[in-house]
Amino acid sequence: MEAQLRRPTLVVSNISKRFGERERGVLALSEVSLEVFDGEFIVLLGPSGCGKSTLLRLMAGLEIPSTGSVQLDGVPVLRPSRDQGMVFQGYTSFPWLTVQQNIEYGMRLNGVSRQQRRARAEHYLELVGLEKFRDAWPKSLSGGMKQRVAIARTLANDPRILLMDEPFGALDAETRWSMQELLLGIMRQSAATTVMVTHDIDEAIFLADRIVFMSKHPGRVREILPNPLKRRQAYSNKADALEQPEFAVLRRKVLSLMREANQV
């Protein structure tokens, strides 16, 4: 189904964000508008300093726009809530809780019954492939496994939208590759609406339904690129996706935009 026929989950309307006093402050974002549709995977991409993470934090309610608005299901986003699930680059597991206890933590705070917590934790442990590590402590896990815990814990809280800020940025290349494939499988099974920030062009093309390319200083939406791979066939294996001519065409387009942005 084409995105324009779906119901928009998140609407960013003409937002600007300035940090500091007007005369001496920094205008991080200027007049950014964007719609994210139900079940869609959006990737924010662009040169360093284009405001990708700032835009994500505005979607999460961690920052408030200087002008404009962010709405989730028609309700203004003014603060963090359980409707916005956030996964950061750094590992955020509680070291004094086991894997399963970490996944159940948010549900426990939200008053979910013990029986429901256990059932949902079991589902997401299986979804991220950690069912054999439910009783492990975070210190015994690899970086990729820690991020699986973070993703499972966030999804277990049933957010309306999943927001991810460079979730694989600290991982080695091999682990990052496998985590990208795992994430794609998780998103297909959960049908979660997702916005992710990355600097990795190949990662963006492999994961995104649409790539939102941003220009820098201040950040604006330069171009929105639909992913032709997702229109024709959704690849779960990254090696197969890399071999497709559409992948190479979109990669050249993104590289061209990146060169233009860095020349400004």
pLDDT, tens digit only, all 264 positions of the chain = 444 456 799 999 999 999 987 667 789 999 999 999 999 999 999 998 899 999 999 999 999 999 999 999 999 999 999 999 999 887 778 999 999 999 999 899 889 999 999 999 999 999 999 999 999 999 999 999 999 999 999 999 999 999 999 999 888 888 999 999 999 888 888 888 999 999 999 999 999 999 999 998 899 999 999 999 876 566 788 888 889 999 999 999 999 999 988 876
Q: Is 228 in a helix, a strand, or coil?
A: helix
Distances (CA, A) of 230 to 57, 130, 153: 27, 28, 27
- Alpha helix positions (H), the chain: 52-60, 99-109, 114-127, 143-156, 173-190, 201-207, 228-232, 238-242, 245-263
**How much is the pLDDT for 2?**
46
Count of CA atoms in the C-beta half-sphere (13 A) of 232: 9
Among 210, 257, 177, 170, smallest CA distance to 44 is for: 210
Which residue in this structure is represented by tokens 């049933």? 158
**How much is the pLDDT for 25?**
79
In the structure encoding, which two tokens stand for residue 243, read together?
């071999």
Q: In whole angstroms, what is the distance from residue 151 CA to residue 189 CA?
A: 13
Q: Residue 180 carries which side chain, given as an amino acid letter?
A: Q
pLDDT tens, position by position, 186-223: 888 888 899 999 999 999 999 999 999 999 889 999 99
Q: In whole angstroms, what is the distance from residue 66 CA to residue 19 CA?
A: 9
Q: In whole angstroms, what is the distance from residue 68 CA to residue 49 CA?
A: 21
Which positions ≥6 away from 75 have C-beta within 8 Å?
Answer: none
- Number of helices and strands in the chain (H, E): 9, 10
Q: In whole angstroms, what is the distance from residue 140 CA to residue 95 CA?
A: 10
Residues in the chain: 264
Kindly report the CA angle at 235 between 232 and 236, in degrees rounded to 5?
155
Among 92, 87, 101, smallest CA distance to 130 is for: 101
pTM, rounded to two decimals: 0.91
**How much is the pLDDT for 259?**
92
Q: Where are the domains of the chain?
A: 3-263
Sheet of strand 26-37, all strands in order from the earlier edge strand to the far edge? 26-37, 8-19, 67-72, 75-76
- CATH assignment, 3-263: 3.40.50.300
